[in-house]
Amino acid sequence: MTGPSGASLLLANTTITKKLEDDDLAYVQQRAKNRDYEWQVVWRNVLAFVYLHIAALYGLYLSFTGKVQFGTILFAIFFACISAMGVTAGAHRLWAHKAYKARWPLRVYLALMQTMAFQNHIYEWVRDHRVHHKFTETDADPHNAKRGFFFSHIGWLMVRKHKDVFEKGASVDMSDLEKDPIVMFQKKTYLVLMPLLCFIIPAWIPVYCWGENAWISWYVASITRYTVTLHFTWLVNSAAHIWGNRPYDKNIGATDNKTVAICALGEGWHNYHHVFPWDYKAAELGNYSTNLSTALIDWAAKHGLAYDLKTVSADMIRKRINRTGDGSHPWSKASLET
């Protein structure tokens, strides 16, 4: 028996060396990628959220133990709703998705309300949200729900963003907002407008108008109002990417979740919204009880402040339900057969 020739041994050796080099390279690349996943904690934000939550719990304790005037509680709920609609009807449906058009008085109003909600200025909010839609549940999604409930709910605001968010996010067109003077004015003046509208004015009104204690007003009308609104918003990124039905597309993470829809003034019909993001209702049905934001836009349209409201035909919805739905929609063939 003859052994392998010197040439074939050399070739085998070269192949093994090459394979090792490839494996090493893959290993090094994987290590680098894993390092990207490591959370680089932003302690300033962690401390701010710790303060907010302790103070908000204290505000809730004051509210439920009768230490707050009833007017202050009503005021906090009212301001929570109107500021939230600056996010839903404003930052989300108008500016992020261009689902309808609005005349300047409505745009100014929505920008003021969105400032009161302090969820970053409109430009930044919309950039993150467009990136979320374009790269949903990948590393380029700022609040990638694949990284778990905590990350998609609040964790993403306490760590540096994944490098894919910057790299892929750069492909998102923001030129429409750059041409909008209201959005750019808010961006420029945000550090003055936001503390005034989100914290100082809401704390001052109950003190000035009905003599509420200043500290109670701070905890209830500013901090608790703000923190509860944040959590209701974040549920759309977390709960409505985990729990609920997928009547329009079972292949995506976003779900329809009625509890979230009620809490987030109509933004919990998230499976529908990811499939038809241009619909001004962000839902198939315009039911106001689970979609207060649609009521506001319809009211504005009736008074000439909003126009070109975009929606989706029943036929298109039905086709999509039957093609990709999970069978939970009353119109789906699967539901009708059972």
Q: Does 166 bind ligand ST9 (CB under 6 A)?
A: yes
Residue 326, SS3 per DSSP: coil
Evaluate whether 53 touches 227 at the Cβ level (below 8 Å): yes
From the list ligand ST9, Zn ion, none, partner contacted by residue 88 (C-beta under 5 to 8 A by kind)? ligand ST9
Question: Of Zn ion, ligand ST9, none, which one does residue 255 interact with (CB within 5 to 8 Å by kind)?
Answer: none
Which phi and psi (to 5°) does residue 329 adopt? -80, 140
Helices (H) and strands (E) in the chain, counts: 17, 2
Query: 160 to each of 35, 139, 152, how far by Cα in Å?
Result: 13, 12, 13
Looking only at residues 267 through 286 of this chain, which bind ligand ST9 when binding is defined by CB under 6 A?
A: 267
What kind and span of H or E run contains 307? strand 306-307
Structure-token pair, residue 175:
């030129």
Structure tokens at 169: 């996010």
157 binds ligand ST9 (CB under 6 A): yes
Binding letters toward ligand ST9, positions 204-243, x by CB under 6 A:
-------------------------xx-xx--xx------
Shortest distance (Å) from residue 26 CB to ligand ST9? 27
Q: How far is the CB of 147 from ligand ST9 (least distance, A)?
A: 13
DSSP per residue, 67-105? -S-HHHHHHHHHHHHHHHHIIIIIIIIIIIT--SEE-HH
What does the per-residue mask of binding to ligand ST9 show for 60-99, with x meaning CB under 6 A? ------------------------x--xx---x-------
- Of residues 212 and 269, the one with the C-beta less far from ligand ST9: 269
Site string for ligand ST9, 279-318 (x = CB under 6 A): ----------------------------------------
DSSP character string of 156-208: GGSBPPPHHHHHHHTTS--HHHHT-HHHHHHHHHHHHHHIIIIIIHHHHHHHH
Q: What is the contact mask toward ligand ST9 in residues 12 to 51, using x (rule: CB under 6 A)? A: ------------------------------x--x------
Residues that bind ligand ST9 (CB under 6 A): 42, 45, 84, 87-88, 92, 118-120, 124, 127-129, 131, 142, 157, 160-161, 165-166, 169-170, 172, 229-230, 232-233, 236-237, 264-265, 267
